[in-house]
Amino acid sequence: MTVGVLVEISNKSVDKIFDYNVPSSLESKIQVGVRVSVPFGKMILEGFVLEIKDSADRELKDILDVVDDDIVLNDELIELGKEIKRRTLSPLISCYQVMLPKALKAKSGRDISIKYESVYSLNTIDCNVSFNSTQKQIIDLIKEKGKVSRRELVNISLSSLQTLIKKNILIEEKVEQYRLHYNTSLLEKKKLTVEQSEVVNSVIASSPNCFLLYGVTGSGKTEVYMEIIDYYLSLGKSSILLVPEISLTPQMIERFQRRFGDRIAALHSGLSDGEKYDEWRRIARGEVSIVIGARSAVFAPLKDIGIIILDEEHSDSYKQSDANPRYHARDIALLRAKSHNCSVLLGSATPSLESMARAEKGVYKLLRLPNRVNGKNLPKVIIVDMNEAFKKTKGHFSNDLLESIRGCLLRGEQSILLLNRRGYASFVTCKNCGFTFKCPNCDITLTYHKSSNTLRCHYCGYGEKGYNECPKCHEKGLNNLGIGTQKIEEELKKYIPEARILRMDYDTTSKKGMHLKMIESFKNHEYDILLGTQMVAKGLDFANVTLVGVINADTSLNIPDFRSGENTFSLLSQVAGRSGRSEKEGIVIIQTFNPDHYAISYVQKHDYLSFYRQEMDIRRRLKYPPYYYLCCIKISGKDSNFIYQEALKIKRSLERNLDSVIILGPSNALVFKVNQIYRYQIILKYKKEDELYPIFSKIMEHYQINRNIKIDIDFNPLQVL
């Protein structure tokens, strides 16, 4: 027997299947999709069996061992990996590795083991043997339950158990024990509103299909998800629910657990490697029917999927941008939907422009939830013009926001404050008049490069020297706008010392379990103010929150990216939706130097559709998505001049081979130098991607053995910086 093995080296030069002979002693263990260890040059590597052939070749090397008893990659995932490779031009092995928990990856997973627990049952009881009270307690409990785990005997000394085992009265077995435990009692099922029922019925009646659920914040989208999933459970089908932020996962799991008990499994970065391994095996074994998790949970090895749901579908978190394969979870969901003949449901209060455009064209079926489930109005939004208020502010707080926070405290209500530090771009603005430097060609903010004292656009290459004073008001008020949540926390403690403040950002939530702990403590009113980055803006539901404050709405608005307006509108709308979600009325205060910007004014009116139409008009004129697709080619290496010359060669090659594609660059990447590596980029705007693959493949092949240069290709990048 001969097998084709894909070794676990993520390198283009070995991105192919290698043949090995199978010793007769291992033939019974061989299956497509299992891992094997093989000799590879002077190394011993692990790899996946992707082919089985009857013929044997004496000149081939033998595989050394079969690593798995069960299949790791089923047929669907094997084919899915090949399609991801084709679409992203990534090494095939990286397309499989992204699907798996660390424990199932070579080398890195060897130290992650299955956890076992002792389980005790009765063997025989000698009537002539007397027992002490503790031993009798153990025996009575086992008689009642049949088998008892060590966890159930936590207050019993090990010596008492060992004595009964030595007397042959108890039998001890080692049973695999999952690290996570779910409540098995089903407690909650809410009655749907008429609008929610109509959405559920539409999904059921029109499946299989791709649906876009446009529902305002607080409209009860989660209840709709659960009702649809419940329907598919009744048909014996499984479901996947994706959430964009790890901060949303604990609340979502809690709600689903109250409805579905232990039929759920979780897959997200907040779990330990062992917990992820356990959850993956529970899923693969068919022990659960619902998977809840972040982006990579879209690869969960479920069988017979009925629906895949992406909550907050507009979120950037669904795109893997920092490593190969650079995939989007929505695209994977649509691919899996074809394999399972199932539906995909995309839900959001602020759908991405691409998704809404597809819905308007009929590619997706549009569903709406226009009202909050409790019948309450959306919160009142107050815009504070910081151009006027700045001279009267205390630190970074306007008087309006400070007084509103104090009012919440007096009424025993809670506040959420947002300071968005998303992204790493710096921009130059005038704190005197609010002027911001923008590209004259792209209407996108220029990025300041301190080393060269230049302001530069990373889309068309436009640049100009830096200024010492504002060209508008001629005051020396230019500043790199940038404050952090820690600075805001210090100011709050100074101005409102009686407030109990909970800061929720990457620094404070990096420890395991901190998201859930913080959410629960704030929910229990152990704190008055929740201050955080964008992780506090989505999905969280606190009945006592009546005020949302945005410290600086311009942080995301001035990022030099064509999506800055869309991202700002989405973020502000989402965080505004955290206010007044229960019986109490809510307000939102947004501080900005750009009060007349359409993205902010439409947030004040809760008018997504008007924002959508205006932003679409801008995208059409500037030839940005969804009217054009984008692709970013990044060229990087240690020698800046060499890399730039190669980037020019790549551009000339593209120009010779692509007639209908707009090519911009090469220009510096936003962070031009990272770890002694220089980075340039070329941006392509195009209508049809099929014509790109042949030339891209040639470029990748040409440079794959050149260690002095690295080429990365990102289709439909979220940001081009």
pLDDT per position as a tens digit, 118-150: 999 998 766 667 788 888 888 888 988 889 988
Residue 218 backbone zone (phi > 0: left; psi -120 to 50: alpha; other: beta): left
Total residues belonging to the chain:
721
514 pLDDT above the threshold of 50: yes
458 pLDDT above the threshold of 60: no
Q: Which amino acid is at 401?
A: L
Supply the pLDDT for residue 390: 80
Q: Give all domains of the chain, ordered by start, each with its CATH number.
A: 2-104 (3.40.1440.60), 116-176 (1.10.10.10), 194-369 (3.40.50.300), 380-426+482-618 (3.40.50.300), 629-715 (3.30.70.600)
Supply the pLDDT for residue 227: 97
Supply the pLDDT for residue 444: 63
DSSP conformational letter for 44: E
Q: Using CA atoms, how far apart are residues 195 and 219, in angstroms rounded to an integer?
A: 9
Q: Using CA atoms, how far apart are residues 638 and 569, in angstroms rounded to an integer?
A: 39
325 pLDDT above the threshold of 50: yes
460 pLDDT above the threshold of 60: no
Query: 710: which strand partners?
Result: 636
Residue 120 CB burial class (10 angstroms; 0-12, 13-18, ≥19): buried
- Residues contacting residue 371 through CB under 8 Å, at least 6 positions apart: 195, 216, 219
- Residues contacting residue 171 through CB under 8 Å, at least 6 positions apart: 120, 121, 122, 123, 165
77 pLDDT above the threshold of 70: yes
Least confident among 34-48, 374-388, 451-465, 618-632: 451-465
Residue 202's SS3 state is helix
Supply the pLDDT for residue 715: 95
| pTM, entire model | 0.87
423 pLDDT above the threshold of 50: no
The answer to whether 249 and 293 have CB atoms below 8 angstroms apart is: yes
Mean pLDDT of the chain: 90
Q: If you average pLDDT over residues 19-35, what whole number do you get?
A: 95
- Residues contacting residue 103 through CB under 8 Å, at least 6 positions apart: 109, 112, 273, 274, 276, 277, 280
Supply the pLDDT for residue 424: 25
Summarize pLDDT for 357-393 with one digit per residue, the tens. Answer: 999 999 999 999 999 998 889 999 999 999 988 878 7
Q: If you average pLDDT over residues 185-202, what whole number do you get?
A: 88
Q: Using CA atoms, how far apart are residues 235 and 697, in angstroms rounded to an integer?
A: 44
- State the pLDDT confidence band at 448, using cuts at 50, 70 and 90: low
Residue 153, CA distances (Å) to 148, 160, 394 in order:
8, 11, 59
Residue 606 backbone zone (phi > 0: left; psi -120 to 50: alpha; other: beta): left
The answer to whether 414 and 530 have CB atoms below 8 angstroms apart is: yes
Decide which of 174 and 484 is more confident: 174
Residue 36's SS3 state is strand
The answer to whether 106 and 5 have CB atoms below 8 angstroms apart is: no
The answer to whether 12 and 700 have CB atoms below 8 angstroms apart is: yes
The pair of three-digit structure tokens given for residue 532, joined into one six-digit string:
């955080």
Strands 343-348 and 305-311: parallel
Q: If you average pLDDT over residues 53-70, what whole number do you get?
A: 86
203 pLDDT above the threshold of 50: yes
DSSP conformational letter for 328: B
Q: If you average pLDDT over residues 657-671, what whole number do you get?
A: 90
Q: If you average pLDDT over residues 80-100, what whole number do you get?
A: 95
Supply the pLDDT for residue 417: 97
Q: Using CA atoms, how far apart are residues 188 and 308, in angstroms rounded to an integer?
A: 22
Q: If you average pLDDT over residues 403-430, what whole number do you get?
A: 80
Q: If you average pLDDT over residues 678-700, what whole number do you get?
A: 93
H helix runs in 361-430, sequence order? 386-389, 399-411
Decide which of 682 and 117 is more confident: 682
Residue 575, CA distances (Å) to 109, 484, 535, 580 in order:
39, 18, 9, 11
Burial 201-227 (b: 16+ CB within 10 A, else e): ebbeeebeebbbbbbbbbbbbbbbbbb
Q: Using CA atoms, how far apart are residues 409 and 528, in angstroms rounded to an integer?
A: 7
Q: Which amino acid is at 114?
A: I
Q: If you average pLDDT over residues 2-19, what whole number do you get?
A: 89
